[in-house]
Amino acid sequence: MPRDPSDRDAARARLDSLWRRGREFLGSDVAIMGGAMTWVSERHLVAAMSNAGAFGVIACGSMLPDKLAEEIAATKALTDRPFGVNLIVMHPQLLELAETCIQAKVGHVVLAGGLPPNTVLTRLKESGTKVIGFAPAFAIARKLVRSGIDALVIEGMEAGGHIGAVSTSVLAQEILPHVREVPIFVAGGIGRGEAIVSYLDMGAAGCQLGTHFVCATESIAHPRFKQAFIRAAARDAMPSLQLDPRFPVIPVRALANKATETFLETQRQVIDRFEAGALTQKDAQLEIEHFWAGALRRAVIDGDVEYGSLMAGQSVGMVTREQSTAEIIAELVDQAVAALTARAVAGE
pLDDT digits (tens, 9 = 90+) for 87-112: 999 999 999 999 999 999 999 999 99
pLDDT recorded at residue 4: 72
Under 8 Å between Cβ of 116 and 63: no
Closest CA to 112 of 72, 138, 76, 140: 140
| pLDDT, average across residues 171-177 | 97
pLDDT recorded at residue 241: 87
52-90 per-position pLDDT tens digit:
999 999 999 999 999 999 999 999 999 999 999 999 999
Residues paired with 34 in a beta bridge = 209
pLDDT recorded at residue 208: 98
Q: By mean pLDDT, which of 187-191, 302-306, 340-344 is the weakest?
A: 340-344
Which regions of the chain carry the CATH code 3.20.20.70?
5-221+319-343
Closest CA to 53 of 29, 26, 27, 75: 29
5-221+319-343: CATH architecture: Alpha-Beta Barrel (3.20)
CA atoms within 13 A on the CB side of 181: 11
291-334 per-position pLDDT tens digit:
887 899 999 999 999 999 999 999 999 999 999 999 999 999 99
Question: Percentage of residues in the chain with pLDDT exceeding 90?
Answer: 88
d(CA 31, CA 320): 23
228-246 per-position pLDDT tens digit:
999 999 999 999 988 899 9
pLDDT at 2 over 70: no
pLDDT at 1 over 50: no
DSSP3 helix / strand / coil % (the chain, rounded to 5): 45, 15, 40
Torsion from C-alpha of 276, 278, 280, 286, nearest 10 degrees: -110
Instruction: Give the helix/strand (H/E) hosting 22.
Output: helix 20-26
d(CA 89, CA 117): 8
